[in-house]
Amino acid sequence: MLAERAKIYFLHKKEGEEILENISYDQTGKINLNGIYNRDEPVSYFSALSRLGYRIPQEAKPRFESLIEARRRSTQSEAIKVIDLGCSYGVNGALLKHGLSMDDLYERYAAGPDNAGALLARDRDLYAEPADACLEMVGVDPAVRAVSYAVDAGMLDAGITTNLEAGDPKAKDVAALENADLIISTGCVGYVTETSLERLLETSIESKPWMAHFVLRMFDFGAPEDMLSSHGYVTEKVEGLFPQRRFASSEEQEHVLGNLDQLDIDASGAEATGWYFAELHVSRPQEITQSVPLDRILRSDAFQPA
């Protein structure tokens, strides 16, 4: 049963103690969650992220919505195409296109059919009538099964599974990606580099898409910023920090604090409290930054470390 399969990942301990079993770490010091990112259904994915308090898409939602509305005013069109880089099961699509919250998703996938086919059928019904029908969501992620589920269920309008770090998008990918208005991500930059961002940009170079990326503080956005600058973009970092998720173990926190220390980033009041934190980088063509200041678009109510 799907719910039973999800439970094998966890130890039921009090908050503050390690909450995942059989933990391994990647080269950045983060726990390796590859086992939940590319299944035929998203139950294990949402179960794991719920226990980790994963919330960055919820933090991002009002900022993305403000950028979407500003972009609509800029193009004078309600129709808008958003590219979600690192989309996995289409979380940002569920929040932006369908008006849901992370709590809604955690509740939705904590219960329901135990058969994968029945779960997909249920989701097709639930996502049949989007809250924003003029918003087209296109996901980009090499996790083939996750993207396929998100498209089949209706969280995404289209999905691209070509690894853009390794090669150019295929002709069918370009057809889905071209003429984008906004390119977003919530945590994949650092694993994904300026190579993927430039390939996405080049598919929509005539529409001059805006970009908004939430980047963990242990990853440097300098190389993507330089690439975007070479294409006439200005990148602005929004003031404040945005919580992503709790650390899964004391060892993971130690890894990250060490990474931040090497970068001379003060973790007190932020990662030292037990959470990952991200920063928001917004990139737009230079002429737009001059005519429409970013602080007119975004609220400045992000977390400020003590």
At 261, which amino acid appears?
Answer: D
Distance in angstroms (rounded) separating the CA atoms of residues 142 and 232 = 29
**What distance lies between CA 63 and its chain's CA centroid?**
13
Each residue's pLDDT tens digit, 181-202: 999 999 999 999 999 999 999 9
Q: Answer whether 84's CB lies under 8 Å from 137's CB.
A: yes
pLDDT band at 22 (very low <50, low <70, confident <90, very high): low
Q: Answer whether 64's CB lies under 8 Å from 83's CB.
A: no
Question: Average pLDDT for residues 122-149, to the nearest whole number?
Answer: 97
Give yes or no for residue 62 having a pLDDT over 80. yes
Give yes or no for residue 26 having a pLDDT over 90. no
Question: Average pLDDT for residues 145-166, to the nearest whole number?
Answer: 98
Distance in angstroms (rounded) separating the CA atoms of residues 78 and 69 = 9
Q: Count other C-beta atoms under 10 Å from residue 286's C-beta.
A: 12
* Alpha-helix runs per DSSP H in the chain: 2-7, 34-37, 43-51, 56-75, 91-96, 102-110, 116-126, 144-153, 171-177, 194-203, 222-230, 250-262, 286-291
Distance in angstroms (rounded) separating the CA atoms of residues 64 and 62 = 5
Is the whole-model pTM more than 0.85? yes
Give the Å distances, CA to CA, from 112 to 42, 116, 189.
12, 10, 33
Q: Pick the closest to residue 137 from 105, 184, 174 (CA basis).
A: 184
Question: Average pLDDT for residues 64-83, to the nearest whole number?
Answer: 97
- Mean residue pLDDT of the chain comes to 90
**What is the pLDDT at residue 35?**
80
Give yes or no for residue 11 having a pLDDT over 50. no
pLDDT band at 302 (very low <50, low <70, confident <90, very high): low
Q: Tell me the angle at which helices 194-203 and 222-230 cross, rounded to the nearest 10 degrees.
A: 30
**What is the pLDDT at residue 12?**
35
Check residue 229 and give left, alpha or beta (phi > 0: left; psi -120 to 50: alpha): alpha
Give yes or no for residue 68 having a pLDDT over 70. yes
**Residue 282 class from Cβ within 10 Å (0-12 exposed, 13-18 middle, 19+ buried)?**
buried
Question: Average pLDDT for residues 226-252, to the nearest whole number?
Answer: 96
**What is the pLDDT at residue 300?**
57
Percentage of the chain exceeding pLDDT 90: 83
